[in-house]
Amino acid sequence: MPQPPEALQGTTVLDFSTVGPATRCARILADYGARVIKVGVPPSKLGLQVQPGFWMYSANRGLEQVRIDLKDPRGRAALLKLAERADVLIESFRPGAMKKLGLAYEDLEAINPRLVYCSTSGFGQDGPAAKQAGHDLNYLAVGGFLHTSNRRGDGGPPIPGATVADGAAGGMHAALAIMAALLRRAQTGKGEYLDVCVAEGVLWLTSLYIDQYLATGDPPGPGHDILTGRYACYDTYACSDGKWLSLGVIEGHFYANLCKALGCEQWLESEYDDAVQDEIRRDFAAAIAKRPRDEWVAELAPANTCVAPVYSMEELVEDAQFQARGIFGEVLHPEHGRFRQVNPAFAGMRRPTEAVPVPDWSQTNTVDVLAEAGIGVEEIEAMRDEGIVA
């Protein structure tokens, strides 16, 4: 049976970012089939931008790049040629930066009214914090995510092990908004401007607790509810080999299965009894500490107990479930050779079954992309000689 077209096949995206939420967004769009052209600066100005490691963001799998000095009038004119043909533009500069370059939404809408223009920023395009610098941890801090997480040894909020704000509150947020805008464009024929605020995305991630506070006046925090560590049935426990087991037991029948398997039947009726949570934790910890983690997983996981191992990176990349679903693939880099990475991960994305060539990011597609946009080869070569493009 032939495969259907990729969801974003035929969609061209100009991406002005190098790291962070906007780059995560571009990765999602590319993995849904969009043509993503990264817009960077010429080598003489590379110090102005963070350059990711060669493996980051899927090693630029399937992406193209152009390098253009947007402060030069001829560079800006070349970019406008690309924008005339683009479907989506993503940028992550400080609010007002694109306007100074003459590349604000209003400038580009005039030449391409079908363009979906997405600005990603930490705090949005307006308001008192709009121009404030920040990173993932800052957005998780102001959005309540850190406050509702269990405290570390010194009493402070933990530093999460993954960039939750960049990936979910920013990148997925932006990609979802862009795809919704493309659906609207299919009905109206018009593009639109999207103001993606990462901190507001964190508010959505934390909305169960924020809405609880707004509705009841009860201020959530670490240990206030089952999902923030109040009960022994939703926690992590050390095993005899020093590895850790996670319990995510919420429903009563799962809890009963767990108590019986651990030999803790005395707590069958006490899952949500606040008065005895310390005792339950003590007995769960003592029982789990008697055996290695993988023995517990082998016994408990099939027994409807909602357990899972706390994996290291070395372990998770060899996990049988992930292997069976083809979530890890191989790429072939011109300099760094063959290595593994996470395949396109979301539903509806195509997962390659063979090694995928990835680009040498020291090389660009500038000449071909600009020529495709109708700029003459002699003009491109002249700009390249002067360092306007690379």
Domains and CATH numbers, the chain: 12-205+352-385 (3.40.50.10540), 226-238+244-309 (3.30.1540.10)
pLDDT at 45: 66
Cβ–Cβ under 8 Å, residues 139 and 202: yes
- Does residue 50 carry a pLDDT above 80? no
Q: Which amino acid is at 290?
A: K
Distance from C-alpha of 342 to C-alpha of 280, rounded to nearest angstrom: 39
Judge whether residue 290 has pLDDT over 90: yes
What was the pLDDT predicted at 4?
Answer: 82
Question: H-helix or E-strand containing 384?
Answer: helix 377-385
The amino acid occupying position 342 is V
Residue 78 has pLDDT above 60, yes or no: yes
CB 190 within 8 A of CB 214: no
Res 51: pLDDT: 79
- Residues 121-132 pLDDT 10s: 999 999 999 999
Mean pLDDT computed over 58-62: 97
Q: Is 263 left (phi over 0), alpha (psi -120 to 50) or beta?
A: left
Please tell me the distance from the alpha carbon of residue 361 to that of residue 40, in angstroms, as a whole number. Answer: 11
Based on DSSP, count helices (H) and strands (E) in the chain, helices before strands: 17, 12
* The pLDDT of residue 74: 96
Kindly list the catalytic residues. Answer: 135, 166
State the average pLDDT for the chain. 96
Alpha carbon distance 218, 211 (integer Å): 10
Question: Would the pLDDT of 46 be above 70?
Answer: no
The alpha-helical segments, DSSP class H, found in 217-363 are: 252-262, 277-288, 293-300, 313-316, 320-324
**Tokens in use for 215?**
């509705």
- 377 pLDDT above the threshold of 80: yes
Tokens encoding 40: 């960077």
